[in-house]
A and B are shown apart, each in its own frame.
Chain A
Amino acid sequence: METFDSLMLGFSVALRPDVLWYAFLGCVVGTLVGMLPGIGPLAGISILLPLTFGLDATKAIVMLAGIYYGSQYGGSTTSILLRIPGEAASVMTCIDGNAMAKKGRAGAALCIAAVGSFIAGTFGVVVLTLVAPPLASFALRFGPPEFTALLVLGLIFLAYMSTSSLPRTLLMAAFGLLLGTIGIDTMSGHFRFSFDLPELGDGIGIVPVAVGLFGLGEILATPSHQVTSEIPHPKLRELWPSRQEWRESAMPIARGSVLGFLIGIIPGSAHIISSFMSYALEKRVSKHPEEFGHGAVAGVAGPESANNAASTGAFVPMLALGIPTGPVTAVLIAALLIHGVPPGPTLVSDHPKVFWGFVASMYVGNLMLLALNLPLVGLFVNLLRVPYAYLYPLIIMFCVIGVYEVNHSIVDVWIMLIMGVVGYGLKKFGLDPAPLVLGLVISPLFEMSLRQSLLMSNGTWTIFFERPIAATLLAICLGLLALAALSHIRRRKDWRGRLAEAEAGDGH
């Protein structure tokens, strides 16, 4: 009953015309960001973050989160029509979605993807409503050792779930953690690696790093002649799937919703992994696995539902624990912090209007996205017809404005440019920049928790094993490391290897 009353409070906030407007804006921008190749949700959120500075925390987070889950809807359009994933989570939709389009069922595939996304997104919000507040209450028992162990678990989990190898992911995470130490040490006042630049006193910002790695870095690696602009144009009357197609999509949507949400709450690029696992599951349970790759409805319905449910699931640890599960939630945490609202166990009690307003806005946002993505698909498709050669200069301009406006610092723009080059280099050498961003974000919290834990225990490392919650979390870390080692010894190609292959095959 208490949850219901709180949710009603949330709806009283989310249904205010001004909040509705920002939710709508976020959904539209998210759909566009998801559709356009070369600009993912992370770059989109980072670039638009400065525009939220004049807003209150609720409107800001409602708009930015709208971009995130909106991009999951939008990504399917480019995948189905062009066989290019607008964003990484839509890789699996390319396979059967585009095969359906070639059979003249593009409209039906788009409709199934949108309806599946809506059902999964709404399911995710319902579970988030029920799970996040009790989890936050539990997290109030956490002290510095528990937070240290939790952050270590997050990094290990990320490395375990990642499609690249464990040392590669941990290498990038360590690099991110190292970058996060730049600036004034808050405990001793020492300047670290700031090279007499006052702008580096506060450290390297997440926005220039994220925009550089994921926005500019992607543009550097994508010459315009590699991007096609020949696109089919589905008509509104072709959008409705047949009765058979509805039947075939019902169970994959249900399974994708549950699977996606569960994977979403685990650190890592959950929305990407969830779509692959859902595809693998659907193929395994299907009576006609031979249809997969040739336009199977379940191959669209399952992954699209899973990636939407996962993007909602990722909000659970972010809101309840203040822990990012990936780079997108890391930027959202930074956005809340900029607005003076620290996410974590006290968010529900200290800022109920922000928390419940945000949760309620997601119910509304999912409805908006369904309304946007079906009737207006033709309108959005027109944007894909703008030649990429004209589009990427515009994105670079937004990158520069977005980064500069955060602190009015030209040093930040230089950092973005350097990170763009770094991102380009990492891509060439097959290193994933996502753990770097995650490491950068958690670095201050990790260092503070670690040093406070050591101070509490008078320098004894056993404090992490004497406290039950911390010990359990570290035991899970060890279990995951053992599993990863076992998989390496057996040299068995598991689902991560197959995901890497699928990404490599369809990502271009």
Chain B
Amino acid sequence: MIRVDHVAGGAFVLLGIVVFAISGDLPFGTMSAPGAGMMPKLMAGLMMAFALVLIAGAGSSPALASIDWSDRTHAALVVAATAAATALYRPLGFLITMSLLIFSLLVVVERRNLVRAAAYSIGLTVFAYWLFGIALKSPLERGLLWF
């Protein structure tokens, strides 16, 4: 049976292999003159070693099927909304992007009332703009629409 630690350990072993593969051009140097590649390769090696220990003792970890993924839809929607907001942040600016982010989370993820969600998202974003952009003089993105 596949256990949680089999997958977790395997993922880190794979990551270690990738690190070794892409750090080929970094010189390891010598013990008396360590190079730029010494620390990454040492750490990738250590990481793989601990991952192998994890795999070796995986028998006592829970079965992979026992992981509760009931929150996956919520997580995927939040990630999608935040990714869209990150992509739009510079072109659209703070006010529009953040209003849209909060509105979409409330309506799409939380299924809240449209009017309340719109009022809450606009009100909150305007307050945050005043707090950060005006009161605390933190330069927020204005975007193409000059907001």
Contact = CB atoms under 8 A, between A and B. Distances in A.
A and B are partners in one complex rather than unrelated chains: yes
A168 B54 contact: yes
B2 interface: no
Contacts of B70: 223
Nearest to A430: B4
Nearest to B74: A223
Contact of A219 (B61, B78, B120): B78
Contact of B12 (A171, A405, A447, A451): A171
A11 interface: no
Interface residues of A, number: 61
Nearest to A170: B50
Interface residues of B, number: 67
Contacts of A193: 19, 22-23, 40
Chain B binding surface, main DSSP class: helix
Given A400-B82, A451-B38, A167 B50 contact: yes
A20 interface: no
A447 B43 CA distance: 10
A40 B140 CA distance: 25
A174 B32 CA distance: 23
Interface string B82-111: 110110011000100010011001100010
A174 B106 contact: no
B36 A401 contact: no
Contacts of B53: 167
Contacts, number: 165
Given A171-B50, A181-B40, A224 B110 contact: yes
Contacts of A394: 102, 124
A388 to B, nearest CB: 9
A404 B137 CA distance: 15
A55 to B, nearest CB: 10
Which of A396, A421, A460, A461 has the most B CB atoms < 10 Å from its CB? A396
Contacts of A224: 74, 110
Interface in A174-221: 174-175, 177-178, 181, 185, 187-188, 190, 192-193, 216, 219-221
Interface string A443-455: 1000100110011
B59 interface: no
B80 to A, nearest CB: 10
A378 interface: no
A251 B22 CA distance: 58
B47 A174 contact: yes
A178 B40 contact: yes
B58 to A, nearest CB: 11
Chain A binding surface, main DSSP class: helix
A222 interface: yes
A458 interface: yes
Nearest to B136: A51
Contact of B47 (A175, A219, A417, A431): A175
Given A51-B136, A171-B54, A401-B132, A396 B105 contact: yes
A205 B138 CA distance: 19
Given A174-B43, A458-B32, A397 B78 contact: no
Contacts of A390: 106, 112, 120
A493 B5 CA distance: 20
Which of A178, A392, A394, A451 has the most B CB atoms < 10 Å from its CB? A178
Contacts of A397: 98, 101-102, 124-125, 128
Nearest to B141: A404
Contacts of B23: 192-193
Contacts of B46: 170, 174, 177
Given A400-B86, A455-B33, A178 B19 contact: yes
Given A223-B70, A400-B89, A429-B67, 9 more contacts: A50-B138, A193-B40, A393-B106, A398-B128, A400-B86, A401-B94, A413-B89, A429-B7, A430-B4
Interface of A: 50-51, 54, 165, 167-168, 170-171, 174-175, 177-178, 181, 185, 187-188, 190, 192-193, 216, 219-224, 226, 389-390, 392-394, 396-398, 400-401, 404-405, 408, 410, 413-414, 417, 420-421, 424, 428-431, 443, 447, 450-451, 454-455, 458-461
The 3 A-B residue pairs with the shortest CB-CB distance in the complex, in nearest-first order: A459-B31, A459-B32, A190-B36
Interface of B: 4-5, 7-8, 12, 15, 19, 22-23, 26-27, 30-40, 43-44, 46-47, 50-51, 53-54, 57, 61-62, 67, 69-71, 74-75, 78-79, 82-83, 85-86, 89-90, 94, 98, 101-102, 105-106, 110, 112, 120-121, 124-125, 128, 132, 136-141
